[in-house]
C-alpha cells in the first residue's frame, strides 16, 4: 500500500499571507487540525496546526516562559522565532517550515515511520512541489480498520478503482470537499462529513454507480446545520 491509496485529495489550504485568525477560523469550520500553507505559486511552504496556535498572546498563553528565562535557555535566533510564533498575526511567521512530506508512491510503512519520527499527525503528499493530497494518522487507522486478515492481492485494481471513484464523485456535482474514499478488495469505504441526508444518499448512489465497486461501506456523518451553513457561505 502507498500514500496514494489512503490520502485525502480534497485538502483545505491557506495562503502564507493569511492571518492567524483566518487560519483558526478555517480549521474550526472544516473540523480539521492543520492546514498546508501555500505561497503565491501554490507551492507548499509550511504547515500550521492546532499545536502552533496553543501558545498565543491572544489566549494569555504566549508568555508561558518569562522573557529572561527564554534569554537564558534559548539561542537568540530561537528566542526570536519563539516570539514570532506567539505574537505575529501572519501565518507565515508562525507556521512550521520546512514541511515533512511524502510522495504518492511512498509506502505506508514509510509514512508511518515519518509520523512517528517527527511526532506529527499528518504529512502532505507532494508531486513536483505541488500539493496533491494529505495523509493523517486517522487515514492509516481507517485503512487498518478495513484491511482484511490477509493482504489484498489486487492492489493495482483497487488503486485504479479509487481513481475512478474520486473522478466519478467529482463529476457528479456532489460537494465532497470533506469526504475521503478508500478501496479494499473492491469494497469502497466513504469517510468524512456531508451536509445533509440527501447528500449522503447521493454520495452512496454515485459510488455504487462506478463499475467494479463490489460494495459500499458508508462511514460518513451528517454535519450539524450550523456548521454546514457556515461552510456553504464560503
- Fold classified for 147-232: 3.30.1340
Which of 67, 91, 89 has the alpha carbon at shortest distance from 80? 67
Determine the pLDDT at residue 152: 47
Cell numbers linked to 182? 478508500
Query: 6: how many CB neighbours lie within 10 A of its CB?
Result: 25
Q: What is the pLDDT of residues 182-228, one digit of tens each?
A: 998 889 999 988 888 999 999 999 999 888 899 999 999 988 875 54
Task: Say if residues 123 and 115 touch (Cβ distance below 8 Å).
Answer: yes
> Hey, is 28 helix, strand or coil?
helix
Instruction: Kindly report the CATH number that applies to the domain delimited by 14-136.
Output: 3.10.580.10
Q: Is the pLDDT of residue 150 over 60?
A: no
Determine the pLDDT at residue 233: 47
Domain boundaries, the chain: 14-136, 147-232
Determine the pLDDT at residue 59: 60
**CA dist., res. 149 & res. 228, Å (int):** 37
Average pLDDT estimate for 170-188: 87
Q: What is the pLDDT of residues 52-106, one digit of tens each?
A: 887 766 665 555 555 444 555 555 556 666 677 777 788 988 888 889 999 999 9
Q: What's 94-133 look like in SS3?
A: HCECCCCCECCCCEHHHHHHHHHHHCCCEEEEEECCEEEE
Quote the longest CA-to-CA distance of the chain: 65
The structure's pTM equals 0.61
C-alpha dihedral sign at 223, 226, 227, 228: positive
Q: Is the pLDDT of residue 149 over 90?
A: no
Amino acid at each position: 500500500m502507498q500514500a496514494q491509496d489512503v490520502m485525502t485529495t480534497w485538502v483545505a489550504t491557506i495562503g502564507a499571507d493569511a492571518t492567524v485568525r483566518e487560519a483558526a477560523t478555517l480549521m474550526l469550520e472544516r473540523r480539521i487540525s492543520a492546514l498546508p500553507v501555500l505561497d503565491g505559486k501554490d507551492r507548499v511552504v509550511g504547515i500550521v496546526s492546532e499545536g502552533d496556535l496553543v501558545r498565543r498572546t491572544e489566549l494569555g498563553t504566549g508568555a508561558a516562559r518569562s522573557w529572561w528565562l527564554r534569554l537564558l535557555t534559548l539561542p537568540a535566533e530561537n528566542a526570536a522565532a519563539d516570539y514570532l510564533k506567539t505574537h505575529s498575526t501572519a501565518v507565515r511567521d508562525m507556521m512550521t517550515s520546512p514541511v515533512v512530506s511524502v510522495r504518492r508512491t511512498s509506502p505506508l510503512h514509510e509514512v508511518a515511520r515519518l509520523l512517528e519520527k517527527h511526532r506529527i499527525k499528518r504529512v502532505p503528499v507532494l508531486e513536483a512541489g505541488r500539493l496533491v493530497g494529505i495523509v493523517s494518522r486517522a487515514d492509516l487507522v481507517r485503512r487498518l480498520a478495513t484491511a482484511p486478515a490477509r493482504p489484498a492481492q489486487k492492489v493495482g485494481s483497487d488503486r485504479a478503482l479509487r481513481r475512478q471513484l474520486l473522478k466519478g464523485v467529482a463529476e457528479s456535482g456532489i460537494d465532497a470537499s470533506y469526504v475521503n474514499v478508500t478501496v479494499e478488495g473492491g469494497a469502497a469505504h466513504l469517510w468524512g462529513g456531508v451536509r445533509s441526508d440527501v447528500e449522503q444518499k447521493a454520495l452512496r448512489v454515485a459510488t455504487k454507480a462506478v463499475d467494479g465497486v463490489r460494495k459500499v461501506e458508508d462511514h460518513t456523518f451528517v454535519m450539524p446545520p450550523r456548521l454546514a451553513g457556515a461552510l456553504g457561505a464560503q
